[in-house]
Amino acid sequence: MALEPGSYHVEVSRHGYKTNKTWIRLETGKDQKIEVGLEQLNETAKKNIIQSKSERKKRYTVLLFEDFSDNNFKWPVGSKKERELKIRNGKYYFRHKRDSYGWEVAKGVKGFNARVNFKIDTTAKHISGITNNGFGIVWGKQGNDSNHFRISANGYFRLSKTVNGKFVDISGWKKSGKINKKNSINRLSVEKRGNTLYCYINGARVYKSAFEPFSGNRVGFRIDKNQAVEFDNVIVKIEP
């Protein structure tokens, strides 16, 4: 099958087996073979999946899909003494140069707001720098207000927010075996359903909290202290 270069979400399923989902990136002029293994389900798991599918017949509207193959969405780029931002090799490279504080980059997404159920996904790969502080997703940003779900390269995650420029910790740093440590790729997701916010790492739910309302529609990334990270495959979607 001939496909255009770019990022693709691949899903392989078979009755009686656990569905395998992954992201791949196709490059120009290269043939790529994908090998996928499927894990057989026991009877209890089969029943749970059937029930789950019947309960969740929901459709999402995708507001943003960004694979950084170009910069049509006009993400900030350039270098300053505090940070460096650039699109390279189909990734958004984000380096925070300071030894303190954090830096956020976010863009307005039309239709995104706190009144609807939503889900935000991105992949993040730690490239260099410290391993004991956070990098991850930012949403609802407006002025000095924002919400953040971050992981660290040494295996911890944290849910937090900033209100009028003041940092508010929600979960505290929590260790998680779901995080691929060091310079590995991780998929981060946050999902709002009703009055609850769910946080996921590599498809596994690791935390839930009361949903914190916000007024901004900007979505993006945050890095704390001196480290560099590559972000990719950003998806923002809502339930109509």
Distance separating alpha carbons of residues 239 and 68, to the nearest angstrom: 25
Do the beta carbons of residue 186 and residue 136 sit within 8 Å?
A: no
Is residue 105 domain-resident? yes
Q: Do 204 and 148 lie in a common domain?
A: yes
Q: Do 25 and 75 lie in a common domain?
A: no
Q: Do 97 and 178 lie in a common domain?
A: yes
Is residue 41 domain-resident? yes
Last residue of a domain, one of 33, 55, 77: 55
pLDDT in tens, the chain (240 residues): 667 666 666 777 777 777 777 777 777 777 777 777 777 766 655 555 555 554 455 688 999 999 999 999 999 999 999 999 999 999 999 999 999 889 999 999 999 999 999 999 999 999 999 999 999 999 999 999 999 999 999 999 999 999 999 999 999 999 999 999 999 999 999 999 999 999 999 999 999 999 999 999 999 999 999 999 999 999 999 998
| Radius of gyration of the chain measured on its C-alpha atoms | 18
Q: Do 156 and 50 lie in a common domain?
A: no
Last residue of a domain, one of 55, 76, 93: 55
How many domains are there within the chain? 2
Is residue 154 domain-resident? yes
Is residue 145 domain-resident? yes
Domain around 25: 6-55
Of the candidates 84, 132, 128, which has an alpha carbon nearest to the alpha carbon of residue 105?
Answer: 84
Is residue 208 domain-resident? yes
pTM over 0.85: no
Contacts of 84 (CB under 8 A, 6+ apart): 78, 93, 94, 95, 97, 228
Q: Do 45 and 73 lie in a common domain?
A: no
Is residue 1 domain-resident? no
Last residue of a domain, one of 17, 38, 55: 55
Is residue 150 domain-resident? yes
Distance separating alpha carbons of residues 145 and 149, to the nearest angstrom: 14
